[in-house]
Every structure is written in structure tokens, then in C-alpha cells.
Amino acid sequence: MDDFKRKLIQLHHSRDVGWKKIYELLKRDPKLDTLTCYPQRENSTQSILSSQALKDFHSTYIQEQIRQYSNQGIKAITIFDEEYPELLKQIYQPPWVLYVKGDLSLLTKNPKLAVVGSRQASQYSHKSIDILFPELIKKDIIIVSGLASGVDTIAHQKAIYYHGQTIGVIAGGFYHIYPKENKKLASEMMQRHLVMSEYPPHSNPEKWQFPMRNRIISGMSQGTLIVEAKRKSGSLITANFAVNEGRDVFALPGNILSPLSIGTNELIQQGAKLVIHPNDILEEFF
């Protein structure tokens, strides 16, 4: 690991350091050279950081944590690395660092389709995905989702069942997989597919991280398919991210009497492409 990458990852582990502070630091000091001057804080670069952040940056405990990642099959990829997904670089505030485990080649393979939906998925989700996925996977489309309950879980499981490839984007870090019932699925994906997070492995999942995670799901994908969604749904947040980044948004039409179809039906009213056949997606990708 080169010196700049090591410093950026250490900075990413430091408390009180968010996306904007890293951006400000890199503007003033593109190689992060002045951070090695600790504890002297005479320059304007270090004045951006709190004393707590500087202590964390120079913490031998954090440095040892980072060194141990490779022993656990975890790799840290920065936005400046070749393996970083090109589409993800184009979104608003792309993650500075991604922590990944599994088949790293999936990061740069395309096309990718984000598939999200309700955590209270009905049989309609199961049956619809069974209709759509075989043809999509024959075309080597990689399925991206959030390893959440419901549609996310179905999407990952069906991608594996149909011998496709899938990527799970989680909130929190690898040592705190949420929900707990998906630990086995996550473990399988870490072996043959890919799991990734923008949060260091020791991070506990926080409520605010889930909508932020959604921007990665849509951001690394050419399009996003919403399977089932209530009117107020995290899936609609993912759809909005996709729209804002100029990506395709697809939605399954549903029963007008079902609360799980209100969100998707309204997306279609607003211009999302109605999907009733795999070709409705394939014709936008190829």
C-alpha cells in the first residue's frame, strides 16, 4: 500500500472526519503530506481536523486494525484506485473509500442492475423476479442490492440460484452484518460474489447510513428496478438517487389495492419505465 493510500484510509477511520473534511483536506494538501507533522498544528491543513481526529489518524491501534484487514480477506479501495467502479465516481459525493470482500472483478464488470423493494415482500416479488432474472443473467447482468430483508434478500438469492453474480452494499461494517438473519447469505456472497461498504469494518450500522447506502446501490448501476414499494419507502430514495444521476429507473406495475404497489405505480406515473418482461430492461442496456 502506498503512503498516500495508507494516509487516506487512516483518515477515513478517524472520528469527526466526514466526506466534506476529506474533500477540504485534499484540496489544500493533495498528497496529505502535512498530516505527518502531528502533534504540531501550525499549518492550515491540520487546522481543519479536531484534536480527536488527529489522535485517531496517528493511532497505532487503528493502524493495526487496517493491517489486519488483508488477513480477513477485506480490501480497502480508494476512489483513486483502478478497481473503483467508474460509474460510482460520477455520483454526488462518491465514497472516498470502499471496503470490499469477495470477487473484486465484479466492481469493474458491467452492466449492473440495482434491484430493490419492500422489506415486507409478497409472493409477487418472488414470482416476478423468477420471470425477469433468467434472461437478465443470461446477458451477464450483475444484480446489485442492499442485503436487507425482503426484496433485497430475494434478489441476491435468485441471482445466485440462476447462476448469476451479485453485489451486496451494506450499511455499517463487515463485523456487524444487518439484519442478523442475513449473515449466512452475506458469508456466501463474500466467498463467491461481493459484499461492500463505505464504512470501516468495525462500524455499527446507524439509521442514517441506510439512505446513504442507497446512493451507492444506484450509483454503481446502469439502472434501478423497484419491485414492490410503499408510498414512503427506502426503495423510492434509491429511485430518486438514480434519477438524479441520470440513470434508468424501472418499476413493476402492481395491484392498485396493494399498499406494496403504491410506490411502484406512482413511479410509473412519474416516468419510470414499466417492466413486464426482461426485454423491457435489456433493450435499455444493450
Q: What secondary structure does DSSP assign to the chain, as a single string?
A: --HHHHHHHHHHTSTT--HHHHHHHHHH-TT-GGGGGTT---STTGGGS-HHHHHHHT-HHHHHHHHHHGGGT-EEEETTSTTS-HHHHTSSS--SEEEEEE-GGGGT-S-EEEEE--TT--HHHHHHHHHHHHHHHHTTPEEEE---TTHHHHHHHHHHHTT--EEEE-SS-GGG-SSGGGHHHHHHHHHHSEEEESS-TTPPP-TTHHHHHHHHHHHTSSEEEE-S--SS-HHHHHHHHHHHTT-EEEE----TT-HHHHHHHHHHHTTPEE-SSTHHHHHHH-
Confidence of residue 231 (pLDDT cuts 50, 70, 90): confident
Q: What is the mean pLDDT of residues 204-214?
A: 92
pLDDT recorded at residue 45: 59
pLDDT recorded at residue 12: 96
- Whole-number Å distance between alpha carbons of 215 and 242: 8
Q: Kindly state whether residue 99 falls inside one of the protein's structural domains.
A: no
CATH of the domain at 141: 3.40.50.450
Q: Kindly state whether residue 88 falls inside one of the protein's structural domains.
A: no
Residue 232 has pLDDT above 90, yes or no: no
End-of-domain residue from the set 50, 72, 94: 72
Q: What is the mean pLDDT of residues 214-230?
A: 96
Question: Who contacts 64 (Cβ-Cβ below 8 Å, separation ≥6)?
Answer: none
pLDDT recorded at residue 46: 58
- Which cell numbers in the block locate residue 70? 488483508
The boundaries of the domain holding residue 255 are 104-285
The answer on 108 and 67 residing in a single domain is no
- The tally of CA atoms less than 13 A away on the side-chain side of residue 60 is 0
The answer on 57 and 129 residing in a single domain is no
Q: Kindly state whether residue 85 falls inside one of the protein's structural domains.
A: no
pLDDT tens-digit series, residues 64-119: 999 999 999 999 999 999 999 999 999 999 999 999 999 999 999 999 999 999 99
Residue 19 has pLDDT above 90, yes or no: yes
pLDDT tens-digit series, residues 240-270: 999 999 999 999 999 999 999 999 999 999 9
End-of-domain residue from the set 72, 93, 119: 72
- Using a cut of 0.85, tell me whether the model's pTM lies above it: yes
Contact 145, 45 (CB under 8 A): no
pLDDT recorded at residue 14: 95
The answer on 122 and 57 residing in a single domain is no
Q: Kindly state whether residue 53 falls inside one of the protein's structural domains.
A: yes
pLDDT recorded at residue 40: 47
Higher per-residue confidence, 46 vs 128: 128
pLDDT recorded at residue 36: 73
pLDDT recorded at residue 37: 63
pLDDT tens-digit series, residues 25-57: 999 889 988 887 655 444 555 578 888 988 899
Residue 279 has pLDDT above 50, yes or no: yes
pLDDT tens-digit series, residues 130-185: 999 999 999 999 999 999 999 999 999 999 999 999 999 999 999 999 999 999 99
Q: Kindly state whether residue 87 falls inside one of the protein's structural domains.
A: no
- For the chain, the domain total comes to 2
Question: Who contacts 239 (Cβ-Cβ below 8 Å, separation ≥6)?
Answer: 218, 224, 226, 249, 251, 267, 272
Residue 63 has pLDDT above 70, yes or no: yes
- Whole-number Å distance between alpha carbons of 152 and 174: 17
Higher per-residue confidence, 284 vs 233: 284
Q: Kindly state whether residue 259 falls inside one of the protein's structural domains.
A: yes
Q: Kindly state whether residue 77 falls inside one of the protein's structural domains.
A: no
